[in-house]
Structure 1
Amino acid sequence: MAACRAQVLKLARALNRVQSVRCCSTRSPALTALPEEDVMMRDMATKFAREKIQPLVIKMDEDEKFDPGMIKDLFENGFMGLEIPEEFGGAGTSFFQSLLVIEEISRVDPTVGILVDIQNTLINALISSLGTKAQREKYLPRLAQQTAGSFCLSEPESGSDAFAMKTPTQQQP
Protein backbone atom coordinates (compact mmCIF):
# COMPACT_ATOMS: atom_id res chain seq x y z
CA MET A 1 0.00 0.00 0.00
CA ALA A 2 2.86 2.38 0.72
CA ALA A 3 4.10 1.78 -2.82
CA CYS A 4 0.72 2.85 -4.21
CA ARG A 5 0.78 6.01 -2.07
CA ALA A 6 4.30 6.77 -3.28
CA GLN A 7 3.11 6.34 -6.86
CA VAL A 8 0.25 8.81 -6.26
CA LEU A 9 2.76 11.35 -4.91
CA LYS A 10 5.12 10.78 -7.84
CA LEU A 11 2.30 11.25 -10.34
CA ALA A 12 1.15 14.43 -8.62
CA ARG A 13 4.66 15.90 -8.73
CA ALA A 14 5.02 14.99 -12.41
CA LEU A 15 1.64 16.51 -13.22
CA ASN A 16 2.51 19.78 -11.54
CA ARG A 17 5.67 20.02 -13.66
CA VAL A 18 3.81 19.14 -16.86
CA GLN A 19 0.97 21.59 -16.21
CA SER A 20 3.39 24.49 -15.86
CA VAL A 21 4.83 23.68 -19.30
CA ARG A 22 1.44 23.07 -20.94
CA CYS A 23 -0.04 26.40 -19.89
CA CYS A 24 2.36 28.17 -22.22
CA SER A 25 1.54 26.12 -25.33
CA THR A 26 -0.66 27.67 -27.99
CA ARG A 27 -2.62 24.54 -28.83
CA SER A 28 -4.60 22.60 -26.26
CA PRO A 29 -5.08 18.85 -26.57
CA ALA A 30 -8.56 17.48 -27.14
CA LEU A 31 -10.61 17.25 -23.97
CA THR A 32 -10.91 13.51 -24.47
CA ALA A 33 -7.13 13.04 -24.62
CA LEU A 34 -5.80 12.79 -21.09
CA PRO A 35 -2.16 13.43 -20.27
CA GLU A 36 -0.22 10.31 -19.34
CA GLU A 37 -0.14 11.26 -15.65
CA ASP A 38 -3.93 11.57 -15.55
CA VAL A 39 -4.34 8.22 -17.30
CA MET A 40 -2.02 6.61 -14.76
CA MET A 41 -3.93 8.16 -11.86
CA ARG A 42 -7.25 7.04 -13.33
CA ASP A 43 -5.96 3.53 -13.96
CA MET A 44 -4.61 3.28 -10.42
CA ALA A 45 -8.03 4.26 -9.04
CA THR A 46 -9.73 1.78 -11.37
CA LYS A 47 -7.47 -1.03 -10.19
CA PHE A 48 -8.03 -0.13 -6.54
CA ALA A 49 -11.80 0.01 -7.02
CA ARG A 50 -11.93 -3.36 -8.74
CA GLU A 51 -9.55 -5.14 -6.37
CA LYS A 52 -10.41 -3.58 -3.01
CA ILE A 53 -13.93 -2.17 -3.24
CA GLN A 54 -15.79 -4.48 -5.61
CA PRO A 55 -15.37 -7.62 -3.47
CA LEU A 56 -16.98 -5.79 -0.52
CA VAL A 57 -19.85 -3.98 -2.24
CA ILE A 58 -22.59 -6.56 -1.65
CA LYS A 59 -21.62 -7.14 1.99
CA MET A 60 -21.42 -3.40 2.73
CA ASP A 61 -24.83 -2.90 1.11
CA GLU A 62 -26.39 -5.80 2.99
CA ASP A 63 -24.85 -4.70 6.31
CA GLU A 64 -25.63 -1.03 5.58
CA LYS A 65 -22.19 0.07 6.77
CA PHE A 66 -18.69 0.62 5.50
CA ASP A 67 -16.11 -2.06 5.96
CA PRO A 68 -13.57 -0.50 8.39
CA GLY A 69 -10.73 -1.88 6.30
CA MET A 70 -12.08 0.00 3.28
CA ILE A 71 -11.59 3.39 4.88
CA LYS A 72 -8.11 2.38 6.03
CA ASP A 73 -7.26 1.28 2.48
CA LEU A 74 -8.51 4.60 1.06
CA PHE A 75 -6.16 6.47 3.40
CA GLU A 76 -3.21 4.14 2.81
CA ASN A 77 -3.53 4.61 -0.94
CA GLY A 78 -3.67 8.39 -0.69
CA PHE A 79 -7.24 8.72 -1.96
CA MET A 80 -8.49 10.68 1.06
CA GLY A 81 -5.95 13.49 0.77
CA LEU A 82 -5.66 13.92 -2.97
CA GLU A 83 -5.47 17.71 -3.19
CA ILE A 84 -3.90 18.27 0.21
CA PRO A 85 -0.37 19.62 -0.32
CA GLU A 86 2.47 17.19 0.26
CA GLU A 87 3.78 19.34 3.11
CA PHE A 88 0.67 18.28 5.05
CA GLY A 89 0.90 14.60 4.08
CA GLY A 90 -1.40 14.70 1.06
CA ALA A 91 -0.77 13.78 -2.56
CA GLY A 92 -0.89 17.34 -3.91
CA THR A 93 -2.89 16.35 -6.99
CA SER A 94 -5.06 18.62 -9.10
CA PHE A 95 -8.82 19.01 -8.77
CA PHE A 96 -9.19 17.24 -12.11
CA GLN A 97 -7.21 14.25 -10.90
CA SER A 98 -9.43 14.10 -7.82
CA LEU A 99 -12.43 13.94 -10.12
CA LEU A 100 -10.87 11.11 -12.11
CA VAL A 101 -10.31 9.12 -8.91
CA ILE A 102 -13.83 9.83 -7.63
CA GLU A 103 -15.35 8.83 -10.96
CA GLU A 104 -13.48 5.53 -11.11
CA ILE A 105 -14.32 4.61 -7.52
CA SER A 106 -17.96 5.61 -8.06
CA ARG A 107 -18.23 3.27 -11.04
CA VAL A 108 -17.78 0.38 -8.62
CA ASP A 109 -19.55 1.80 -5.55
CA PRO A 110 -21.12 5.27 -5.53
CA THR A 111 -21.27 5.25 -1.73
CA VAL A 112 -17.50 4.90 -1.44
CA GLY A 113 -17.17 7.45 -4.23
CA ILE A 114 -19.18 10.04 -2.32
CA LEU A 115 -17.03 9.48 0.77
CA VAL A 116 -13.90 10.20 -1.28
CA ASP A 117 -15.67 13.11 -3.01
CA ILE A 118 -16.83 14.87 0.16
CA GLN A 119 -13.49 14.31 1.86
CA ASN A 120 -11.51 15.81 -1.02
CA THR A 121 -13.69 18.38 -2.73
CA LEU A 122 -15.53 19.72 0.30
CA ILE A 123 -13.82 19.08 3.64
CA ASN A 124 -10.18 19.19 2.57
CA ALA A 125 -10.77 21.95 0.03
CA LEU A 126 -12.52 24.21 2.54
CA ILE A 127 -9.86 23.82 5.19
CA SER A 128 -7.10 24.26 2.60
CA SER A 129 -8.58 27.43 1.16
CA LEU A 130 -10.38 29.03 4.11
CA GLY A 131 -8.64 27.65 7.18
CA THR A 132 -6.13 29.63 9.16
CA LYS A 133 -2.52 28.53 9.08
CA ALA A 134 -2.98 26.91 12.50
CA GLN A 135 -6.10 25.06 11.32
CA ARG A 136 -4.37 23.81 8.17
CA GLU A 137 -1.39 22.61 10.20
CA LYS A 138 -3.63 20.87 12.72
CA TYR A 139 -6.27 19.28 10.49
CA LEU A 140 -4.85 18.67 7.02
CA PRO A 141 -2.30 16.02 8.07
CA ARG A 142 -5.03 14.13 9.92
CA LEU A 143 -7.48 14.45 7.02
CA ALA A 144 -4.85 13.22 4.58
CA GLN A 145 -3.81 10.20 6.60
CA GLN A 146 -6.33 9.02 9.19
CA THR A 147 -9.47 11.10 9.77
CA ALA A 148 -12.59 11.15 7.64
CA GLY A 149 -14.20 14.58 7.76
CA SER A 150 -17.89 15.36 7.82
CA PHE A 151 -20.30 18.26 7.71
CA CYS A 152 -23.85 18.80 8.87
CA LEU A 153 -26.60 20.03 6.64
CA SER A 154 -30.18 19.71 7.78
CA GLU A 155 -33.17 21.60 9.12
CA PRO A 156 -36.67 20.36 9.95
CA GLU A 157 -38.29 22.24 7.06
CA SER A 158 -35.55 21.84 4.45
CA GLY A 159 -34.00 18.44 5.04
CA SER A 160 -30.71 18.42 3.17
CA ASP A 161 -31.67 21.13 0.67
CA ALA A 162 -29.07 23.79 1.44
CA PHE A 163 -30.93 26.45 -0.55
CA ALA A 164 -34.14 25.99 1.45
CA MET A 165 -32.47 26.48 4.83
CA LYS A 166 -33.70 29.36 6.98
CA THR A 167 -31.13 29.41 9.79
CA PRO A 168 -29.23 32.70 9.66
CA THR A 169 -25.51 32.99 10.20
CA GLN A 170 -23.85 35.42 12.54
CA GLN A 171 -20.24 36.44 12.40
CA GLN A 172 -18.53 35.97 15.75
CA PRO A 173 -16.02 38.53 17.01
Structure 2
Amino acid sequence: MKKILPFLFLALFVLSLVGAFIFLATSKKMIVVQEGNFEQKPIEMRAGLYQDSDCGMVIDDLKDASQIISKDGKSWFFHDHGGFIRWLEDKNIKDDVKIWVISRDTKKWIDAKDAFYSLRDETAMGYGFGAYENNSEGFVSFDIMRLRMLRGETLRNPSISKKLLNKEN
Protein backbone atom coordinates (compact mmCIF):
# COMPACT_ATOMS: atom_id res chain seq x y z
CA MET A 1 0.00 0.00 0.00
CA LYS A 2 2.84 2.42 0.83
CA LYS A 3 4.26 1.95 -2.69
CA ILE A 4 0.92 2.86 -4.29
CA LEU A 5 0.39 6.11 -2.34
CA PRO A 6 2.95 8.23 -4.28
CA PHE A 7 1.40 7.15 -7.58
CA LEU A 8 -2.09 7.84 -6.25
CA PHE A 9 -1.08 11.34 -5.13
CA LEU A 10 0.57 12.00 -8.50
CA ALA A 11 -2.52 10.82 -10.36
CA LEU A 12 -4.75 13.05 -8.22
CA PHE A 13 -2.45 16.01 -8.81
CA VAL A 14 -2.48 15.52 -12.60
CA LEU A 15 -6.27 15.11 -12.61
CA SER A 16 -6.61 18.29 -10.55
CA LEU A 17 -4.49 20.23 -13.05
CA VAL A 18 -6.44 18.92 -16.02
CA GLY A 19 -9.70 19.72 -14.24
CA ALA A 20 -8.51 23.25 -13.49
CA PHE A 21 -7.62 23.90 -17.15
CA ILE A 22 -10.96 22.54 -18.32
CA PHE A 23 -12.81 24.61 -15.71
CA LEU A 24 -11.00 27.80 -16.72
CA ALA A 25 -11.62 27.19 -20.41
CA THR A 26 -15.34 26.55 -19.91
CA SER A 27 -15.94 29.18 -17.24
CA LYS A 28 -14.32 31.95 -19.29
CA LYS A 29 -16.00 30.69 -22.48
CA MET A 30 -12.63 30.52 -24.21
CA ILE A 31 -12.67 30.35 -27.99
CA VAL A 32 -10.39 27.56 -29.21
CA VAL A 33 -11.78 27.09 -32.74
CA GLN A 34 -14.23 29.40 -34.43
CA GLU A 35 -16.30 28.14 -37.33
CA GLY A 36 -18.03 29.89 -40.23
CA ASN A 37 -15.19 32.07 -41.52
CA PHE A 38 -15.61 31.02 -45.16
CA GLU A 39 -14.14 34.30 -46.48
CA GLN A 40 -10.90 33.44 -44.62
CA LYS A 41 -10.57 36.99 -43.30
CA PRO A 42 -8.84 37.69 -39.97
CA ILE A 43 -11.17 37.72 -36.98
CA GLU A 44 -10.82 40.73 -34.70
CA MET A 45 -9.54 39.20 -31.49
CA ARG A 46 -9.82 40.46 -27.92
CA ALA A 47 -7.18 39.64 -25.33
CA GLY A 48 -8.25 37.05 -22.78
CA LEU A 49 -10.99 35.52 -24.93
CA TYR A 50 -9.04 33.12 -27.17
CA GLN A 51 -7.00 30.03 -26.38
CA ASP A 52 -3.80 29.18 -28.24
CA SER A 53 -4.30 26.07 -30.36
CA ASP A 54 -0.68 24.97 -29.97
CA CYS A 55 0.04 25.35 -26.26
CA GLY A 56 -3.45 25.84 -24.81
CA MET A 57 -2.61 29.08 -23.00
CA VAL A 58 -4.97 32.04 -22.90
CA ILE A 59 -3.99 34.69 -25.44
CA ASP A 60 -3.61 37.72 -23.17
CA ASP A 61 -1.40 39.78 -25.46
CA LEU A 62 -2.15 40.25 -29.15
CA LYS A 63 1.18 41.75 -30.29
CA ASP A 64 2.23 38.41 -31.83
CA ALA A 65 -1.21 36.94 -32.46
CA SER A 66 -1.86 34.84 -35.53
CA GLN A 67 -4.74 32.93 -37.05
CA ILE A 68 -4.96 29.94 -39.36
CA ILE A 69 -8.17 29.68 -41.37
CA SER A 70 -9.07 26.61 -43.41
CA LYS A 71 -11.23 26.57 -46.53
CA ASP A 72 -14.07 25.03 -44.53
CA GLY A 73 -14.20 28.21 -42.40
CA LYS A 74 -12.49 26.97 -39.23
CA SER A 75 -10.18 29.45 -37.49
CA TRP A 76 -7.46 28.55 -34.98
CA PHE A 77 -5.64 31.12 -32.85
CA PHE A 78 -2.05 31.52 -31.61
CA HIS A 79 -0.06 33.97 -29.48
CA ASP A 80 3.40 33.20 -30.89
CA HIS A 81 4.14 32.75 -34.60
CA GLY A 82 6.44 29.84 -33.89
CA GLY A 83 3.46 28.07 -32.35
CA PHE A 84 1.38 28.15 -35.51
CA ILE A 85 4.33 26.72 -37.44
CA ARG A 86 4.61 23.81 -34.96
CA TRP A 87 0.87 23.22 -34.86
CA LEU A 88 0.35 23.31 -38.63
CA GLU A 89 3.28 21.09 -39.62
CA ASP A 90 1.56 17.72 -39.21
CA LYS A 91 -1.91 18.81 -40.36
CA ASN A 92 -3.25 17.61 -43.72
CA ILE A 93 -4.63 21.12 -44.38
CA LYS A 94 -1.23 22.85 -44.12
CA ASP A 95 -0.92 23.65 -47.84
CA ASP A 96 -4.48 24.93 -48.17
CA VAL A 97 -4.98 27.53 -45.40
CA LYS A 98 -4.86 31.28 -45.02
CA ILE A 99 -2.52 32.49 -42.28
CA TRP A 100 -2.83 35.97 -40.77
CA VAL A 101 -0.38 37.65 -38.37
CA ILE A 102 -0.51 40.96 -36.56
CA SER A 103 2.25 43.24 -37.76
CA ARG A 104 4.31 44.78 -34.98
CA ASP A 105 5.07 47.89 -37.05
CA THR A 106 1.65 48.70 -38.55
CA LYS A 107 -0.57 46.89 -36.02
CA LYS A 108 -2.63 45.42 -38.88
CA TRP A 109 -3.50 41.85 -39.80
CA ILE A 110 -1.33 40.87 -42.77
CA ASP A 111 -0.81 37.70 -44.78
CA ALA A 112 1.82 35.67 -42.92
CA LYS A 113 3.54 34.69 -46.16
CA ASP A 114 4.03 38.37 -47.09
CA ALA A 115 5.37 39.37 -43.65
CA PHE A 116 8.99 39.82 -42.66
CA TYR A 117 10.15 38.25 -39.40
CA SER A 118 12.59 39.38 -36.78
CA LEU A 119 14.65 36.62 -35.20
CA ARG A 120 15.10 38.27 -31.81
CA ASP A 121 11.85 39.76 -30.54
CA GLU A 122 10.50 38.85 -27.13
CA THR A 123 7.47 36.66 -27.83
CA ALA A 124 4.98 34.76 -25.67
CA MET A 125 6.64 31.36 -26.07
CA GLY A 126 10.15 32.73 -26.55
CA TYR A 127 10.67 31.71 -30.19
CA GLY A 128 11.62 35.29 -31.13
CA PHE A 129 9.76 35.68 -34.43
CA GLY A 130 7.99 39.05 -34.50
CA ALA A 131 6.08 39.77 -37.73
CA TYR A 132 6.46 43.05 -39.62
CA GLU A 133 4.82 44.50 -42.70
CA ASN A 134 7.94 46.46 -43.64
CA ASN A 135 11.30 44.81 -44.18
CA SER A 136 14.36 45.81 -42.16
CA GLU A 137 17.94 44.65 -41.81
CA GLY A 138 18.16 41.20 -40.27
CA PHE A 139 14.55 40.24 -40.99
CA VAL A 140 13.75 37.01 -42.84
CA SER A 141 10.97 35.76 -45.09
CA PHE A 142 8.12 33.47 -44.03
CA ASP A 143 9.87 30.45 -45.59
CA ILE A 144 13.12 31.12 -43.71
CA MET A 145 11.26 31.73 -40.43
CA ARG A 146 9.34 28.47 -40.90
CA LEU A 147 12.55 26.53 -41.63
CA ARG A 148 14.32 28.01 -38.60
CA MET A 149 11.36 27.14 -36.38
CA LEU A 150 11.22 23.55 -37.60
CA ARG A 151 14.99 23.18 -37.11
CA GLY A 152 14.76 24.55 -33.57
CA GLU A 153 16.77 27.64 -34.48
CA THR A 154 14.85 29.93 -32.15
CA LEU A 155 15.64 32.06 -29.13
CA ARG A 156 14.62 29.08 -26.98
CA ASN A 157 17.79 27.33 -28.18
CA PRO A 158 20.63 28.62 -25.93
CA SER A 159 23.30 28.51 -28.64
CA ILE A 160 21.07 30.35 -31.13
CA SER A 161 20.03 32.87 -28.48
CA LYS A 162 23.65 33.53 -27.55
CA LYS A 163 24.57 34.06 -31.20
CA LEU A 164 21.58 36.27 -32.10
CA LEU A 165 21.62 38.36 -28.94
CA ASN A 166 25.44 38.58 -28.74
CA LYS A 167 25.52 37.31 -25.18
CA GLU A 168 28.97 36.73 -23.75
CA ASN A 169 28.07 34.05 -21.17
Which of the two has greater helix per residue?
Answer: 1
Higher strand fraction (1 or 2): 2
Higher relative contact order (CA 8 A, sep 6+): 1
